[in-house]
Structure 1
């Protein structure tokens, strides 16, 4: 998946303008809870239902990637603390840091970097995180 194919779902800084909020979106798993910033449902899925944060969804993407893309820094930290692998890659070889770079999710990127995200990670197209940042502008 190239950066132009990453679906942008929402933005923690733009909830008013997105037309959606977590209560209007069906939150059915750790991936949707992470993507839409529903921290309480994410906690329930992990702490009460015992769902894993270290497995990809059906498309090969991780909850950490969805949270990073949409700049939910608190959820990024929670996922890392509860078993999410900072440098896990999807089928395109992209990490959560790649996804944060696509959207300019600085708060999420900061949390990822503080927890050992590899800046030099390369996806299957040979793109590094810095390419995603430059491509964005």
Structure 2
């Protein structure tokens, strides 16, 4: 009886621990993409603990990282990238998070993505890169954001943000241009082009894909 009396409390404690672990591993009520879009890092951590695939796509083909790019949830983007999110993961239109963040004028998220090695030269299904989408006219921008995505579009904020994003992308391209003559030509970096020529690059060499010379 004495042994049984000692065993019952221990079993009770063990059952509580098991229940606690089960509850802590359960996914939160907020879905992965909403958590990312709203910057709810706590919910993202719970999803991770529950075994949720952080790179999973929603019904529109967008990942959690794509959501942070659209809604400028830079801290959530940072956490996702530090915990296995693919920096150049594609959305339903073939766009990367960097392209989305640039289009929206979200400089804070652009900085995070560039820090984690986002491909500045990546293009979406329409053939546009993160630098090229900065030139999207307002009517098209408003249509995509309000009519398709069905969220309010703040013209001043977006255009001001794009002005801040431009130098960030150009700076990243300048770094690439140091080792890639084609990028140097694309952005008009004469200094980098001269360096490539001085190092022996043949100006008559055709581009491997475009079949055109610099």
Coarse TM-score class (shorter-chain normalised): 0.7 to 0.9
Moved over 4 A (4+): none
Report the aligned-residue RMSD.
Answer: 1.4
1:66-125 Cα shifts (integer Å, max 9, x gaps): 112211111111111111100111221100001101211111100100111011111111
Contact 1:52 1:83 in 2 (8 A): no
Structure 2 residue 62 is matched with structure 1 residue 33 = no
Partner of 2:106: 105
Query: Normalising by the residue count of structure 1, what TM-score does the alignment of the two structures yield?
Result: 0.74
State the aligned residue count: 110
Distance in 2 (CA, whole Å) between partners of 1:68 and 1:128 is 15
Distance in 2 (CA, whole Å) between partners of 1:100 and 1:117 is 11
Instruction: Give the structure with higher Rg (CA).
Output: 2
Distance in 2 (CA, whole Å) between partners of 1:77 and 1:38 is 12
Query: Normalising by the residue count of structure 2, what TM-score does the alignment of the two structures yield?
Result: 0.49
Q: Which runs of 5+ in 1 are unaligned?
A: 1-26
Greater RCO (CA < 8 Å, at least 6 residues apart): 1
Distance in 2 (CA, whole Å) between partners of 1:105 and 1:70 is 8
Contact 2:39 2:74 in 1 (8 A): no
Distance in 2 (CA, whole Å) between partners of 1:93 and 1:32 is 21
Partner of 1:94: 95
Partner of 1:51: 52
Q: Which has the higher helix share?
A: 2
Q: CA shift at 1:131, angstroms?
A: 1.8
Distance in 1 (CA, whole Å) between partners of 2:88 and 2:73 is 17
